[in-house]
Structure formats: structure tokens, C-alpha cells
Amino acid sequence: MKRRDFNRYLQRSAVALALSPWLTAIATPASTDRAWRTHPFALGVASGRPRADSVLLWTRLLFSEDDLTASTEALRVHLEVFADAALQHRVQTTQLVTDATRGHSVHAHVQHLQPSTDYWYRFRQGDAFSAVGHTRTAPALNAEVAHLRIALASCQHYEQGLFVAHQDIAQQPLDFVLFMGDYIYESSNPQYAVRLHSGEEPKTLAQYRQRYEQYKRDPMLQAAHAAHPWVLMWDDHEVVNDYANDQDRKYTDPQQMLKRRAAAYQAYFEHQPVLLGPDTNNPANMRLYDQLSWGKLADVWTLDCRQYRSAQACRDPVRGGGRMVVQCEALSDPTRSMLGQAQERWLTDSLSHSKRQWKLVAQATQISATSVPTPVGRSYWNDAWDGYPQARKRLLQTVVDAQLQNVVTLGGDVHCNVAANLRLEPNNPQSPIVASEFVTTSITSRGLGDKPAAVIRESNADLLHYRPDERGYSLITVTPDAVRCDFRTTPFPAGSEAGFKTQASYVVKRDQAGPQLL
Ligand code: FE
Ligand code: CA
């Protein structure tokens, strides 16, 4: 789609609808199987997991007091897919039945689509229509592709700023949004609140659903979902801060922790355009890691860095989870894993055999080192890859062993814009640069202060760029010759008056590992 058409489309449909009062989205009744008193599509629509011939379309019905009788029923939802923004050329219709066991969420895996093609879609239940969403399929696997445009995003604490970054994302011409985790936050920090979570810290399915409802009601977030397909990975806050597999910071009994994780994963599935829900045999498990290809241009992996990882090394015995650790022998334990054995094997195999021009390894946190010197040795943040140095070495050794060029890793979690060199031995100029890293800052969540940031920057020569002060997202533009990263930012806290600027731009050139400042 040309940018002009895209802008016209945005004005006409997604953003306009998403930002208008919900009741105006209810059209005149087409059929009268249910007359809604209030709009049931209040959480908007979303598309995700774009493939050359398929995409996932999502919505979820919500019930006000006036429509509560419907909340216990199985309801039939109609889906229409169109080839044009004016909704004149309908290419598919389907009906899906949903009920309370899945929170009345709707996941439509729409297939038999054309590659590199724009589609528009909407849902209907009774006399209520959803907003219109736009999506786009991936190119054919063997297609020559001129560019891939991604918005890389993560960490949207509702209380710590407005989702203005999503408004900016909604207006960009993109192939997809790559969201790398902390979509919701379970916890609060009143010190930095510009608005408040409703309800207490979620632990049950009902509470996690309530938290997603609050986030998903945000019109700017809805606009970004309605405008583009999303490729999603979670991090820790979708369950609880700093969790690792079945461990949390409070050393909760693992069986209890897994119950909470099952509730959180179920709520995640119910609110996102993802393919699979929790495993029916073990609802605490849900496979989210995935791989997609963009013609001959790129392979993209999305890695789950929470569900299978070893617990953080050298945890505080009272308050577990992430912290800075010194003289921690466990760091050199080769059995400790960030991805878990099965995912690591899958990645090693898939990455080693990739024949596409660019290999984009998206994972939830930061791979490059951020350790700082102390009088008793270097101090490492044990929650990111610095806390899993043997796993990091195996990942980068795969790149070396398979003689892979053009590996770029993409991350989030640390609320900081990062451009970095990746070497087998971090910060050692004798160790060759084998890959390049971009980490995006947070949509809203507060970053590290200026002083610690300066120390980290000075202590790690591989960090070419390290800015935790601003909020935003990153535009990643992939062409056959380069991967470009534009850090799009606004001051903290992200507010409605602030505009977006480009903090810095870096480029990784073909066959030349390491980002270069533009
Ligand atoms: Fe975060
Ligand atoms: Ca996180």
C-alpha cells in the first residue's frame, strides 16, 4: 500500500474508530440475534502472526451490567475479511463460537490468503460491529523483498505514562509490530504514577483478565493493534516481576507459582492474536517461541526467555529475582540455561540452517554486557543475559560455528535504547564481533537514572549507544544491504503533549557485523 493510501485509510478507519466513543461503532442492526445495550467490542481488534498465506485475527467480547445475560452463553461471532479499506470487496466470511471458558475471546486463524497483501477485517455479534482492523500477510517464502519494516516495542507500564508511542506506531507504514514483552504490569510503583491500575495485583485468571481489560481499553494501544499485525513475545511482568520458570522473587512454593503462571498464560492467550493457548495437559505451559520468514530477505525468531530459564544465579535468599551480583561462581555453570534445552536446540538447528539474507533473533531482554567494576570484581545484572553468560556464549558460538553473517539481535526489557557489538568475549577487542544488537527503550516504563547509566556506558566498550532516559520504540528497517534502527523517543513520562523525535539512528551493513552511527 502506498503511504498516501495508508494515511487515508488510517484517517477513515482504524484510528478514527479507535479514538471515537465506543457507542458510535455500533452500526444499525444487520440481523437481530442480539441487541446489545453497550458495545461488546470495547477491547478493539488485533491481528498477528503474519504468514504468506495466513494471519490470526482476534477480538474479545465484553459484557456490561446491561448485557450480563449474554456472559454465560456460547455466542456466535461473524468475521468478514475484505481486500479493500472501503469494505467493498469481501474475500472471506466465517463464524466462530466462543464462550466463558475462554473469556469470550475470539481467535480466527484465517488461511488461503495471498502473500504481501493488505486485508481489512471486522467482527460482528448480533447488532454490534467491531472496529475495522488492517493487516498484511508476509511475502511468499521465495520472494525477493525490497524491505521489511518493523516497530520494535516493549514495556508499557500503564501507570507510568500514556501510550503515545502506539499512536506514533499506528501512523507508520509497517509490516508488523514486534512486541517483546511486559505488555501488562502486575505491580505498581505509586512514585511514578501518572494514572492508576484498577484492582489489586493479579494472581487469578479473573484478576489478570481485569488487568488486560484496562490496558486493552486504551484507544492508542487499540489504534496500533488495528493498524498493523503484531508478532508477540512475553517477558516477566505478564506473570510477575523477575520470575524464572517456576520461581518467583518471594520463593513461593513452585506448585503455587505454576498455578499463577497458568492463570497468567490463559489471560495472555485470551487477549492476544497468538496461535496456541496453554497446553491442555499442562495449563501452566504455553509455547510462544516461534519463527517467521520474510521472503528471501529475513528469518525472524522470537525467543521465550522466561518460561524455561534457570533461576537467576546467586539470588538474595530473602528477596529473590534480579539483582547485581559479584563473585558469583554459578555464573560459569554451563548447565544454566536462558531458553531451556528444547528451545535452545530448536534455535541452534533453525539458525544454523537459515539461508535468508538477515537473521533477526528477537528475544525479550539484553544480550550485550552491562557489568560494572567494583573493588571486589565486576558486578553483573543477573536477570539479563549477563546472568546467563554460558548460554550467551553458546548462542554466539552457534553463529560462529555455522559461519553466519548478518545476525542482528533485537530486545527489550531494560527500558533503554541500546546499540551494541556482540562478541564471544564481551568488551574484548581481541574477540571478533560476530553479531549486532539493538534493544528498544520502553513505551512508558521508567528507565535507569543518568548516573548508573553513565557508569555502565563507560564500563562496557561494546555499548555504542546506551540511553535509558527517554521512552518510545524503535523502527527497524531491513533491506538486502542493511538493517537500520531509528530510536523514536519522547521524554519521560510519556504524555499527550510530547511529540516524537529520532534520538539516534544506527545501521548494520551487509557482511559487516557491528552497528554504525548514521
Ligand atoms: Fe519492563
Ligand atoms: Ca521485564
- For the chain, the structural domain boundaries read 31-136, 148-517
Pick the ligand that lies closest to the CA of residue 383. 2
Do residues 165 and 498 lie in contact, with contact meaning Cβ atoms separated by under 8 Å? no
Confidence of residue 24 (pLDDT cuts 50, 70, 90): very low
Query: Helix 341-352 vs helix 389-401: angle between axes, to the nearest 10 degrees?
Result: 20
- Residue 182 CA, ligand 2 centroid: distance in Å: 6
Over residues 411-459, the pLDDT tens digits come to 999 999 999 999 999 999 999 999 999 999 999 999 999 999 999 999 9
- Residue 242 CA, ligand 1 centroid: distance in Å: 10
- Residue 109 CA, ligand 2 centroid: distance in Å: 29
Over residues 315-330, the pLDDT tens digits come to 999 999 999 999 999 9
What the block records as the C-alpha cell of 22 is: 465506543
- Residue 158 CA, ligand 2 centroid: distance in Å: 14
- Residue 49 CA, ligand 1 centroid: distance in Å: 22
In the chain the first and final C-alpha atoms are separated, in Å, by 28
d(CA 453, CA 464): 13
Confidence of residue 31 (pLDDT cuts 50, 70, 90): very low
Q: What are the beta bridge partners of residue 472?
A: 489
Do residues 45 and 225 lie in contact, with contact meaning Cβ atoms separated by under 8 Å? yes
Confidence of residue 148 (pLDDT cuts 50, 70, 90): very high
What the block records as the C-alpha cell of 194 is: 501518572
- Residue 413 CA, ligand 2 centroid: distance in Å: 4
Q: Is the pLDDT of residue 19 over 50?
A: no
CA distances from 268 to 206, 213, 371 (A): 12, 11, 33
- Residue 243 CA, ligand 2 centroid: distance in Å: 9
Largest CA distance in the chain: 74
Contacts of 496 (CB under 8 A, 6+ apart): 162, 164
d(CA 248, CA 245): 8
Q: Report pTM.
A: 0.94
Share above pLDDT 90 across residues of the chain, in percent, rounded to a whole number: 92
- The sign of the CA dihedral 311, 305, 416, 373 is positive
Do residues 310 and 337 lie in contact, with contact meaning Cβ atoms separated by under 8 Å? yes
Q: Is the pLDDT of residue 64 over 60?
A: yes
Provide mean pLDDT across the span 70-82: 95
With H, G, I as helix, E, B as strand and everything else as coil, classify residue 41.
Answer: coil
Confidence of residue 497 (pLDDT cuts 50, 70, 90): confident
Q: Is the pLDDT of residue 305 over 60?
A: yes
Q: Is the pLDDT of residue 90 over 60?
A: yes
| Domain 31-136 top-level CATH class | mainly beta
pLDDT of residue 285: 98
Parallel, antiparallel, or unpaired for β 471-479 and 433-439?
unpaired
Confidence of residue 5 (pLDDT cuts 50, 70, 90): low
pLDDT of residue 496: 86
- Residue 364 CA, ligand 2 centroid: distance in Å: 8
pLDDT of residue 13: 46
- The sign of the CA dihedral 332, 336, 341, 343 is negative
Share above pLDDT 70 across residues of the chain, in percent, rounded to a whole number: 94
Average pLDDT, the chain: 94
Domain 148-517 carries which CATH code? 3.60.21.70
pLDDT of residue 4: 52
- Residue 238 CA, ligand 1 centroid: distance in Å: 10
Do residues 164 and 468 lie in contact, with contact meaning Cβ atoms separated by under 8 Å? no
With H, G, I as helix, E, B as strand and everything else as coil, classify residue 145.
Answer: coil
Which residue is listed with cell 533453525?
Answer: 350
- Residue 404 CA, ligand 2 centroid: distance in Å: 29
With H, G, I as helix, E, B as strand and everything else as coil, classify residue 263.
Answer: helix
CA distances from 463 to 253, 360, 471, 479, 514 (A): 38, 19, 19, 24, 10
| CA atoms lying within 13 Å on the CB side of residue 173 | 12
- Residue 447 CA, ligand 1 centroid: distance in Å: 9
